[in-house]
Each structure stands twice: as C-alpha cells, then as structure tokens.
Structure 1
Amino acid sequence: MRLVLASNSPRRRQLLSDLGLPYEIRLQEVDESFPAHLVRAEVAEYLAAHKAEAYRAALAPDEVVLTADTIVCLDDDVLNKPADAAEAIQMLTRLQGRVHDVYTGVCLLTGEGQRVVFSDQTRVYFRALSPAEIEFYVQQYKPFDKAGAYGAQDWIGMVAVTRLEGSYFNVMGLPVHRVWEELVKLGFGLNEVPSLAAV
C-alpha cells in the first residue's frame, strides 16, 4: 500500500519521515469547524475523520490517506490556532502555571473504504511564566500555526514544560506509536521501511 499524508504540518512530516515510511503529500482546503456538543478527544477525532473524507473519492485502491488534528484543552475549552499575537498571548497566559491536555485525532482511510479513527492524549504541566517570557516567545516564534499557541519542541517547551504524561510526539502533532500500530494492521510493515528492508 502507498501512504498519503494530508497535512501541511512540518512536524507531522518530520515525524512520519523519522518513522521511515515513504509517503506522498497531498493538500486541499477543508473546513475545520466542529459541532458545539463535541468535547476533548471527540473534537480531534471528528476533525481528523472529516478531513479524510475530503480525499476519499481521489484515493487509488492501493492508497491510504493519513489525516490528523491536534487540539489543546484547558478544562473543556478547546484552544485552537491563535488568529494573531494578542490571542496567542491570551492563550499562553491561560495555560501558564496550569495542567492541560493535548489530543491528536488521527484517521487512516484506504482507497477500498476501510477507515480507522483514533486519538491519543498527553497531559502537559506548565510552570508559571512571566508576561515578558510569554511576549518574547510569541514575538520571536510566532506560534500562529500551533494549537494552544505553542510548540513543545521549541523554546517554550524547554523553559515551560515541566512534566508530560503520555507521548511527547503526540504533543508535536502525531502519536507515531499508534500510527505505526494501525498501519501494521492495514498491511504496512518493515518491508516498507527502505532502511530496514535490506537488513
């Protein structure tokens, strides 16, 4: 089977490349709104599945598309990508000194119509941050493409994240351990990893 990654996220591309599987990137605009009654993991799974459906008609029988959506939840509030610096500062001000949850929903849809939807949860502990630290991060790193207005892999992750419960890679945007497990069930294996196939 051939893997198609439907994501513009450089973190997801990096993680999938590090997993060792070859993939093709395909992109198209998909509405990312969700029903108001959904909460936490339901939101992430709904958005991942919704994105995958946009690719269904164009998939070849031997292809599987991977879509994903990462959300940050403070209590039951979903913090998506900030629209601007002011909203990013507002989000980080709410997160600092608190514990929050990161959910990544993933959908794998095959060209033959088989669909797998799942999510992974990571609990993230943030230390208290000063307004100057928050403003520095937003101005220097411009985290406007990141749920919750931060990336655990960059400066704020190093200075603010004191503890994780769950997968670090899930916070980056893709729970690769679960992705690998589900791809194996769909027929992928070590033979598809070029660096391992010759071993």
Structure 2
Amino acid sequence: MKNTTNGPFTASSPIILASGSPRRRELLSDLGLEFTVEPSSAEEPLPNPGEKPLEYVLRMAEMKTLDVARNHQGMTILGADTIVVLENRIMGKPSGKLDALDMLTALSGQTHQVVTGFCLVLPDGSRLSRAVSTDVDMRVSTEAELMGYIETGEPMDKAGAYAIQGIGTFLVTAIRGSYTNVVGLPLSRVLDALLSQGIAVTRY
C-alpha cells in the first residue's frame, strides 16, 4: 500500500512504515512523505523480569522494525510501539473485555504515562531509536461508563484500552507533552530524526 499526500516535506529515498496502525499511517501522511506500509509480523513478547518500560518499548520498536528491514536492504524502515505505564505497570493491548475493564479501572482518576518508542533503520543499515513519554490525566469514570465504552469495541486493540483520538477522548482531562505520541507516533521527533538523516527534505 503506497501513501502519497500533499504536505511540506518529501522523502529523498523510499520509506517503509513497519506498522499496520491507521493512526500512524495518517500522521506520517500529514507530513507529505511518500511511503509504503508493510506491517511487522513479529510476535510481541511480554516484558522481561525487571525490564523498565523505556527499555521494553524500545526493544519492541526495534524488533518490529528489524523484522521488516531484513527483506528491504537499502531502504528506510520506520517502526514503533506504544505502551501505557501506570506506576511502572506496563499496559499493552487488552486480552479481552475483562482485561480492558481492569486497565481502565486502574487508570481512572490517575495520571499515567504513554510511552512510544520508534526505530529507524537507515539505507546504510545503521539504526536510530528514540522514546517519548507523555503524561495523561484521566477523569474518574464509573464502571457502567467504562463498560459502555468497552462495548463499542474501540479499546480492544489499543494500549491501555483507550484511544485519545476516538470515543475514549471523554476519559482524558489533560495531557502534558506530545499529543501525537499518545495517538501512537511522536511526529515532531520522528520528523526531526528523518530530517537529520536527510531522509525527509522540505518540498519547497
């Protein structure tokens, strides 16, 4: 799948997005960069004992990116992974409705961090990885409200069981940091990395 949109930037060499996330695809498209999508098929293992959230999210981002890069030498591969962290508890995608309720109940009325790690494998084979964290404040929600949200189906493929850009926006009272990071890709940091490597250039 090739994505082409108008925007202030263009790609100087081929880019592959190693993610099937429509949110990441839309964010990257907004820059105007041409890229193709090839989601990683790598399994997502649980955190290792004692592994810190930052270490885990970077390991996941690098694993997904390298999985796709193996078959595309000489191209730029961008992969990412997003987790929700509450007092060092790492929350990925819920395994079912009860797991989603457990996550959302724990997050209710609390401040948590959304951490996205991204990895670039460059045409010369070198690798650049970064992680960005955003603080998110959640309103106090009743179990009935949370169950109603879960029944929409939206939480089931989202880290922490909610989507700030979707129906789940009602859960969030404030954020401190990058909004796009909470959506799934810290766009300004990704752009800075692409510009620094000459992969993205201004269109005009």
Fold in common (TM above 0.5): yes
Shift of 1:80: 0.7
Shift of 1:55: 2.3
| 1:73 paired residue number | 85
| 2:68 paired residue number | 55
| Alpha-carbon distance in structure 1 between the residues aligned to 2:159 and 2:193 | 24
Shift of 1:129: 0.3
Contact 2:73 2:125 in 1 (8 A): no
| 2:120 paired residue number | 108
| 2:99 paired residue number | 87
| Alpha-carbon distance in structure 2 between the residues aligned to 1:5 and 1:56 | 10
Pair 1:45 & 2:58 matched? yes
Pair 1:7 & 2:28 matched? no
| Alpha-carbon distance in structure 1 between the residues aligned to 2:168 and 2:139 | 10
Alignment partner of 2:200 out of 145, 170, 189:
189
Pairing 1:155-170 to 2, within 5 Å after superposition: 155-157=167-169, 159-170=170-181
Shift of 1:56: 3.0
| 2:30 paired residue number | 18
| Alpha-carbon distance in structure 2 between the residues aligned to 1:28 and 1:76 | 26
Q: Which amino acid aligns with 1:190?
A: V
Measured against aligned partners, the alpha-carbon deviations of 1:31-90 in whole angstroms (never above 9, x if no partner) come to 2114222112111111101112212321232x1100000000010000110011111111
Unmatched tracts of structure 1, length 5 or more: 192-196
Matched residue count: 191
Q: 1 or 2, which has the higher helix percentage?
A: 1
| Alpha-carbon distance in structure 1 between the residues aligned to 2:141 and 2:103 | 12
- With normalisation by structure 2, the TM-score equals 0.89
Identity of matched residues, %: 37
CA RMSD, Structure 1 to Structure 2 (Å):
1.3
Q: Which amino acid aligns with 1:39?
A: K
- With normalisation by structure 1, the TM-score equals 0.91
| Alpha-carbon distance in structure 2 between the residues aligned to 1:80 and 1:189 | 30
Contact 1:81 1:146 in 2 (8 A): yes
Alignment partner of 1:36 out of 16, 34, 49:
49
Q: Secondary structure at the match of 1:52?
A: helix
Q: Secondary structure at the match of 1:54?
A: helix
The runs of at least 4 consecutive aligned structure 1 residues that moved more than 6 Å come to none
